[in-house]
Structure 1
Amino acid sequence: MARFIGAILGAAHAANSGAAGSLTDPFFCNGRVARMLRDYFTGDVAQNDILSLGYVDWTTRFDPTLSVIEFTDFGTAITLDIGVAYIVNQNAAGAAACLLSGQDIATAAGSASPLKSVAIADRHKPLWQLAGYASAQAARAATVKDGGRAEVIATFKGGNPDAGTLSWSFYGSPQ
């Protein structure tokens, strides 16, 4: 049996406190994990509609374990992307799906991590890196109209979505 500590989330981390399963993500050891965004939306949407989930600082690191999105049936073959609003010529259009890409929301009810599409090795990265910016300063400069903050968005994809409910809770730590 092998025991690995640390390398999966960046810099090596000491060890656990002794209890099984009590490893702490090194980026949240300072006790600054907080609910960053939380709300819900109920309504009828159309293909490619964008829903603003809220604004956070570009240096935010989201906790993939605590954060969750929940949804009801939005119709056949409907998917959801979660990422940040992007500025043309500043970062890749893929930023709109940099956290979650193609989540099936056509089931009667379900839930998923909003960081489901982020590789495990990248989950420790701040939002500006996940969105494709060269630095936090570059991200802030590109979003001056939004106060230098990142707008987290959800985009409905697929045929013709029906009415449904989407709720979200993002936990994390602004660095």
Structure 2
Amino acid sequence: MTQAALQKMGHRVVDWKSIQRRLLKEVTMDILSATSAEDIMVTTSNYGIAAYQLWQVQKLRQHIRKEYLDYWEATASDGGIGRPVDAIICPVAPYAAPPHGKKSYTNYSTVWNALDYPAATFRVTTVNSTLDGKELPHGFYDDFEKTFMKCTAPEIFKDAPVSLQLAGRTQKKEAVIKMTEIVDVALAAAK
């Protein structure tokens, strides 16, 4: 729906390949736990990671950030407009907005934290039991993600918001907000 609405408004849409999403979530969780390791140890008796391990994790994150940046820059030749894409539009989660307290998978949004890319979420539609009860037209990224398909029963998510997120480049928060507004206008015009 979003792709069609944007194309109708004259925007070019390019498919985006997800890179190292699960690894980025693990790296982010290691960094977050390390930065508060002492507090965590005192409060919950859990452990953090040592400084050397933190450096290694941050080094890994930098390599993955470079891989994403290289891929982003390469879209200049794939997009047909001679410059890299402006933003990435993708799911927020492998399911619609869950019932209160039931969100259990953050990998779709944590990736932007790990990459230091600003992102904004916007509503596209609501769950439609006729449309959303069908098998997905695409494959899953991995087996772990496939397990969430069982949690997307239309009766559980009846009329729940279906949202996407728009991610932009580091230091481009205002541009992300403006591009999200453009998407919102396109979606409203398509209804």
TM over 0.5: no
TM-score (norm 2): 0.25
Point out the structure with the larger helix share: 2
- Structure with larger Rg: 2
Point out the structure with the larger strand share: 1
TM-score (norm 1): 0.26
